Amino acid sequence: MRESEECKKILENKAMFKMASPEFMDKLVQSAHLHNAGKGKVLFIHQDTADKFYIVVSGWVKLFRETLDGAQAVVDILPAGHIFGETSIFENDSYPYSAEAVEPSVIMSLPLSLLKQEIEDNPKLALAMLSAMARYRKQQDREIEHRTLQNASQRIGCFLLRLADQEATGPITIHLPYDKTLVASRLGMQPETFSRALGKLKDATGIKVKGATVELKSLDQLIDYSCSACSSEFPCHDLNA
């Protein structure tokens, strides 16, 4: 498939662009580029001047910040389909975090200037973006809630459920990044705490973990365990589209 056709297909499927004008979509497709990013490739640094936003086409991207003390906080680890860097247009055009490919990845880059212009011209896109931001805000609220109310094993279960196809019935396989210390830091845990909690989760629910894949007989194995300590019902309708 040609680059532009592949980009077009991906962009048309993003909820955020459902309300965009055809002219804008044409321009966006024309200026989209696919990049191969090796493991460890830094895409941008926190507070860099932002002129592009990105979509993960395949692989995993880590968003993170560093404190004055030199410690690193992982804001998120994004699988395929996720947009990042787009909120820079509300941050005086500077990135609110750093981004790094943590496995060999394919990344689509898109110009922020186009998005900015279309949001100003097309109230429907602004509304779609507001809805996306409200969803994200709710997810973060829940993340803060879970750090208080869920134990470590429940939080791992919740993280897995969020990576799964939540409509699936029957057996399901969930893919994780290969580097488990990444998942641990995304969940705000020390690697040892993560290992212990994953062991406890396996014992309690019967899920099977083989390297970077997790196998479940059904989602119910995790739902019963994790969702009782959450203020929302499963499925999580507020997940990013």
Interface residue with a copy of itself among 1, 2, 22, 148 (CB under 8 A) is 148
Interface residue with a copy of itself among 4, 21, 87, 181 (CB under 8 A) is 87
Q: Which is closer to a copy of itself, CB of 3 or CB of 220?
A: 220
Q: Number of residues in contact with a copy of itself, rule: CB under 8 A?
A: 47
Q: Smallest distance, Å, CB 213 to a copy of itself?
A: 27
Contacts with a copy of itself, 88-107, as mask; x by CB under 8 A: --xx----xx----------
Q: Cα dihedral sign for 206, 175, 188, 102?
A: positive
Instruction: List b or e across 71-87, with b for residues whose CB sees 16 or more CB atoms inside 10 angstroms.
Output: eeebbbbbbeebbbbbb
Q: Smallest distance, Å, CB 129 to a copy of itself?
A: 6
Cis peptide before 123 (omega within 30 of 0): no
Q: Cα dihedral sign for 136, 172, 78, 12?
A: negative
Q: Which is closer to a copy of itself, CB of 131 or CB of 195?
A: 131
Does 235 engage in binding with a copy of itself (CB under 8 A)?
no
Residue 130: CB atoms within 10 A of its CB come to 11
In angstroms, the CA 198 to CA 196 distance is 6
Q: Smallest distance, Å, CB 142 to a copy of itself?
A: 8
135 by DSSP, 3-state: which?
helix
User: Rounded to the nearest 10 degrees, what angle do helices 123-149 and 152-163 cross at?
Assistant: 150
* Residue from 63, 59, 61, 87 nearest 75 by CA: 63
Interface residue with a copy of itself among 35, 41, 135, 162 (CB under 8 A) is 135
Interface residue with a copy of itself among 23, 30, 94, 134 (CB under 8 A) is 134
Does 220 engage in binding with a copy of itself (CB under 8 A)?
no
Show the DSSP H helices in the chain as ranges: 3-12, 22-30, 112-121, 123-149, 152-163, 180-186, 191-205, 220-226
Q: Which is closer to a copy of itself, CB of 14 or CB of 175?
A: 14
Interface residue with a copy of itself among 75, 106, 112, 209 (CB under 8 A) is 75
Binding residues (CB under 8 A) for a copy of itself: these are 46, 65-69, 71, 73, 75, 87, 90-91, 96-97, 119-123, 126-127, 129-131, 133-138, 140-141, 143-145, 147-149, 185, 188, 227-231, 233, 238
